[in-house]
Chains A and B, each alone.
Chain A
């Protein structure tokens, strides 16, 4: 694959769901890959259109490009892009090469794993950490899941690079992409490398698009430490909790997982009382794997733990039980909270 073709397809794969003009492709290539020569990009895009790898539609004076998932070969092209990105990322990083080799060795035997992505690789490498998303097939084997967790913990013991990982099955991945609420899954497309089984990953994306699911990529990732008071109040209200005396104005729709993590980070005791209430009222919108992942990433697991326990008493579920079991066995201690007071508040909100 030629360099220009790689750059074009890489940019377009980051912009799934966002129509993009040729001029915008050129600007983004400039930002991410360095200098871009417009005539060369233009001519390569025409070539890709002739091969039906991409579609080009005219809107006024602009030509808007999109990936043509109807072409069976597109998946292979995109898989190639991922492999090239992987090589570029790893070639100057010997210690990461060893880690990636070992990830492959430790996890390749697990049939449940559909694909593994690493998220924000360059930024996280500068912070000596790796963040990965493990996409799982629908069939669940609890034993296999536990073994995957154990193997990753073993990897962490052996490596100095901090490992944060999230495991999601296809349905959860689909739901998180589908929801309007901002969440980390909508952010991954803009900066990731499908390190293992990239074709499987792109087949998943194709299937989602074939189902009519609109994938809206968020370029800017949310920092839960920086979610504004206004957005927190707006989303708490949306999720069924309103503090007395708070003015609510329109904000950004943000998922329960980010909102919960943000509240735990602010340390606001009153807002923390909202956590079991919004989680209880939004059971189907909350992904507990994602919530635990964010809590671990931002070191709020000890704070979250007691709220999950109260929630389990009020709205037990298999998933919650698994989360609590995992937290207990990972040696996380729990912060002390006023359980009576919180339960009283939950009754006020009709969640007990």
Chain B
């Protein structure tokens, strides 16, 4: 498919509500990246639908979602894995719970610091915009970002990550 559609908060929630209706047990979903920022109303829309899901709910969510004919491209990772980043286990307790009408899906978003550190590895234009939004809106401290980046594992090039991290710190804190 071409030209990814921009999904705003309403469209994301509408989609999840359709999945929620088909679930027969309670699960937790943690929105990451642009999906998290859109659900937090920190950006108007996202092109991608991305979640990290505690492993005990992963298969249930995937199978339920796959049972509903739909036109979204959804990326799911398990247990704090987000793209090439492995967040520490406390990612879930640090995540923010969103109030929704859903009965079975407990919808959360990553902590803003976690959103930032999981974008630094890739650091494309959208990521830069999103990082700036998170830092300014949530008044994130440099020390928190640096500390969290140390705690997180990055599967890609560590050198690239550190270069990007240095760039972000220099851009927004000096």
Contacts and interface: CB of A to CB of B under 8 A. Distances in A.
Nearest to B67: A225
Nearest to B21: A123
Interface in B4-41: 4-5, 11, 14-15, 17-18
B69 A128 contact: no
A156 interface: yes
Nearest to A158: B2
Contacts of A159: 1-3
B70 interface: yes
B5 A162 contact: no
A126 B2 contact: no
Interface string B107-150: 00000000000000000000000000000000000000000000
Task: Pick from A123, A160, A297 the residue with the most CB of B within 10 Å.
Answer: A160
A301 B148 CA distance: 47
Given A95-B5, A158-B3, A161-B5, A129 B69 contact: yes
B70 A127 contact: yes
Interface string A155-175: 011111110100000000000
A126 B8 CA distance: 12
A197 interface: no
A128 B17 contact: no
Contacts of A160: 1-5, 71
A161 B2 CA distance: 10
B102 to A, nearest CB: 13
Given A129-B69, A297-B69, 17 more contacts: A126-B15, A126-B18, A127-B68, A127-B71, A128-B11, A128-B15, A128-B72, A129-B70, A157-B1, A157-B2, A158-B2, A159-B2, A159-B3, A160-B2, A160-B3, A161-B71, A299-B69
Interface string B141-172: 00000000000000000000000000000000
A179 interface: no
A126 B67 CA distance: 15
Given A157-B2, A158-B3, A129 B18 contact: no
B56 to A, nearest CB: 23
A160 B11 CA distance: 14
Interface residues of B, number: 17
Contacts of A126: 11, 14-15, 17-18
A278 to B, nearest CB: 24
Contacts of B18: 123, 126-127
Contacts of B2: 157-160
Contacts of B3: 158-160
A298 interface: yes
Interface of B: 1-5, 11, 14-15, 17-18, 66-72
Interface residues of A, number: 19
Contacts of A158: 2-3
A123 B69 CA distance: 11
A30 B4 CA distance: 36
A158 B71 CA distance: 14
Contacts of A297: 69
A94 to B, nearest CB: 10
A293 to B, nearest CB: 11
B17 A129 contact: no
Contacts of B67: 225
A125 B11 CA distance: 9
Contacts of A298: 69
Nearest to A296: B69
A158 B1 CA distance: 7
A162 B71 contact: yes
A161 B70 CA distance: 9
18 contacts: A95-B5, A126-B11, A126-B17, A127-B18, A127-B70, A127-B71, A127-B72, A128-B5, A128-B11, A159-B2, A159-B3, A160-B2, A160-B3, A160-B4, A160-B5, A160-B71, A161-B71, A162-B1
Contacts of B69: 127, 129, 162, 164, 297-299
